[in-house]
Structure 1
Amino acid sequence: MSLISPAARDALEAWVGHQRALKGAAENTLTAYRGDVTEFLAFITAYKGECQGLAALARITVTDMRAWMAEARSGGIAPRSLARKLSAVKAFYRWLAEREGFEPTAMLSARAPKFQKKLPRPLAVDAARNLIDAVEMQSQQPWVGARDVAVVTLLWGCGLRISEALGLRGADAPLPETLRITGKGNKERVVPVLPAARDAVDAYLRICPYPLQPGQSLFRAIRGGALGPGAIQKVVARARMQLGLPASATPHAMRHSFATHLLDAGGDLRAIQELLGHASLSTTQAYTAVDTARLMEVYDRAHPKA
């Protein structure tokens, strides 16, 4: 951040603190926000040829924004990533304008590049089952295979995010019939635990070589520390290559599959939204890859005037 003025640096850190304290943003999200805004501020400093204090930042124009976006695009950044960066910069400026008392309309009028949203690709039921079976075979150590199966089963059987599954502690075992999960934005939800998921976790715990400590991670790495998401992503990648599944068959795809398979079995879209912890029903619709006809079917069956 050496190219950024002390005032701008302090404002950025104050904004990040605001996002953490009042918005409940996750640390990974905050890291991305800080990086995106830092890149923008560094560009503006170089583009203007001098250190940009808060007064100078208040005079940023649409032309300046376009120059930044053109520079980013020339560096090979994808439209989707640039749109995310622009969103972070605009959020920072809204906060800064309110705090410093300037009009941000010109800067906020910069438009994000258009991109086609990639819908998640859920796996078919048989493919999800086969993937879990193949995951178990990727390790020569039985307890590691059992561990990986337990994690992936929680993703598919309970609709957990990988961070939520790996965030479970020893105090959560043995798993109860329902789990209280704290997800994005510190939002809590209650998730039923299927017997298959409970059994998979129990099987792992029976042969895990490390003692179960209430305050420590439930899922342990090879050397006994907390298991990270990278290990699960790698083992799923090896399993999908063995099965000939597409690259979209990721750990997160198992969460997509949880939602789609519930809906296919007659589950209510609103209830699935609650299970996934989505703030918006449109997000759940994207996860489940439902079409308009399927939504109308749910509507016709559930609406009191139907």
Structure 2
Amino acid sequence: MANLNILLQNFIEYLQLEKNCSQYTIVNYEHDICEFFMFMNEQSIDSLNNVSYQDARLYLTKLYEKRYAKKSVARKISSLRSFFKFLLRETHVQSNPFSQVSLPKLEKRLPEFFYEEEMEILFQSIDTSTPAGLRDLAILELMYATGIRVSECSGIELTDLDEYNSVLLVRGKGNKERYVPFGHFAMQSLQNYINNGRNQLMKNQKHTYLFVNQKGTPLTARGIRYIFNKLIEKAGNSQHIHPHMIRHSFATHLLNNGADLRAVQELLGHSQLSSTQVYTHVTKEQLQKVYLAHHPRA
């Protein structure tokens, strides 16, 4: 088992240094591979080189028996496929037993988003008479203006804002950086928060993070989700909602209004165009509504 742990550590270093994966991704890889090591122990497989295609198929069956969601099963098999691919490259194994294992077909779920009228209700529901309210409006305006993730929002520092050019430096997944423009509404809310809200919330804390909590310390992604849930409750919306819907809304509204798909890909920080194309399904639904509403023989 010691040898397995050394190989796993080598793989993690490869993910960190060569693939530049995020810590979240690395933790998932490590968990999935360690789970497979336990399976190897149960099956008395003493070496990764002795893992066969039949063993890989058996492992897939075991995952289904544990009632994992299809998405989780697909991720675990994908993790092991990548692990063995790395081992094959480093000549630690002679074959990749997971290369031919079929991943479960995932249901294609359309991204949930807010309609423009619903976004307006959210904006109007925020009480901006308090420093916290100014902060909450600035968060919502900036997330909707840029389509950034909650984790990206929590990591913004004051120096990341270029107020003169209305551009934000965003540090995304795998520490990849991108510049995203934002508009007048976001700029106005940010300036109001920085000038009239942030200093009061900071108390005696000293740091450069843009968004802070009531104690003056940097606001975490979890803290932003909590704020968002409170906004939803206040706006009187009872459906199941998550902050990522702001990002979905950003992409959907851009495409509905004629934005180029590749431009939206850049703004979202997607490395693959296929990740952005999911939003075209939503816009096709919008186009159908327009067609049915306006075509004389629809």
Q: Shorter chain as normaliser: what TM range?
A: 0.7 to 0.9
- Please give the alpha-carbon distance, in whole angstroms, between the structure 1 residues aligned to 2:107 and 2:172: 27
The 5 Å alignment of 1:75-154 reads 75-134=66-125, 136-137=126-127, 142-154=130-142
The aligned residue for residue 230 of structure 2 is 238
Equivalent residue letter for 2:239: P
SS at match of 1:222: coil
**Alpha carbons 2:80, 2:98 under 8 Å: kept:** no
- Please give the alpha-carbon distance, in whole angstroms, between the structure 2 residues aligned to 1:7 and 1:142: 58
The aligned residue for residue 291 of structure 1 is 284
Aligned match for 1:163, one of 148, 151, 157: 151
SS at match of 1:106: coil
**Alpha carbons 1:179, 1:190 under 8 Å: kept:** yes
Aligned match for 1:36, one of 32, 54, 78: 32
Aligned match for 2:192, one of 181, 199, 203: 203
CA spacing shift, 1:34–1:13, aligned 2, 3 Å: same
The aligned residue for residue 256 of structure 1 is 248
Moved more, 201-210 or 283-292: 283-292
TM-score by length of 2: 0.85
CA spacing shift, 1:175–1:45, aligned 2, 3 Å: farther
The 5 Å alignment of 1:255-274 reads 255-274=247-266
**Alpha carbons 1:58, 1:97 under 8 Å: kept:** no
- Please give the alpha-carbon distance, in whole angstroms, between the structure 2 residues aligned to 1:148 and 1:47: 53
Number of equivalences: 281
TM-score by length of 1: 0.83
The aligned residue for residue 296 of structure 2 is none
SS at match of 2:208: coil
**Alpha carbons 2:70, 2:106 under 8 Å: kept:** yes
**Alpha carbons 1:212, 1:218 under 8 Å: kept:** no
- Please give the alpha-carbon distance, in whole angstroms, between the structure 1 residues aligned to 2:229 and 2:11: 37
Structure 2: gaps (5+ residues): 288-298
- Please give the alpha-carbon distance, in whole angstroms, between the structure 1 residues aligned to 2:96 and 2:11: 19
Displacement, 1:245? 4.9
What is the CA deviation profile of residues 4-39 of structure 1, one whole-angstrom value per residue up to 9, with x for unaligned ones? x11111111111111111111111111111111111
Aligned match for 1:23, one of 19, 22, 40: 19
- Please give the alpha-carbon distance, in whole angstroms, between the structure 2 residues aligned to 1:106 and 1:246: 44
CA spacing shift, 1:117–1:104, aligned 2, 3 Å: farther
**Alpha carbons 2:162, 2:168 under 8 Å: kept:** no
- Please give the alpha-carbon distance, in whole angstroms, between the structure 2 residues aligned to 1:213 and 1:178: 26
Aligned match for 1:60, one of 47, 51, 57: 51
- Please give the alpha-carbon distance, in whole angstroms, between the structure 2 residues aligned to 1:201 and 1:58: 56
Displacement, 1:90? 0.9
Displacement, 1:146? 2.1
Displacement, 1:63? 2.4
CA spacing shift, 1:106–1:65, aligned 2, 3 Å: closer
Equivalent residue letter for 2:247: R
CA spacing shift, 1:22–1:212, aligned 2, 3 Å: farther
Identity of aligned residues (%): 29
- Please give the alpha-carbon distance, in whole angstroms, between the structure 2 residues aligned to 1:224 and 1:236: 19
Displacement, 1:199? 1.7
SS at match of 1:190: strand
The aligned residue for residue 300 of structure 1 is none
What is the CA deviation profile of residues 189-221 of structure 1, one whole-angstrom value per residue up to 9, with x for unaligned ones? 221121211222222222222169895321112
- Please give the alpha-carbon distance, in whole angstroms, between the structure 2 residues aligned to 1:175 and 1:287: 30
CA spacing shift, 1:292–1:219, aligned 2, 3 Å: closer
Displacement, 1:110? 1.5
Structure 1: gaps (5+ residues): 295-306
CA spacing shift, 1:76–1:149, aligned 2, 3 Å: farther
CA spacing shift, 1:147–1:47, aligned 2, 3 Å: farther
- Please give the alpha-carbon distance, in whole angstroms, between the structure 1 residues aligned to 2:231 and 2:8: 42
Please say if 1:224 is aligned against 2:213.
Answer: no
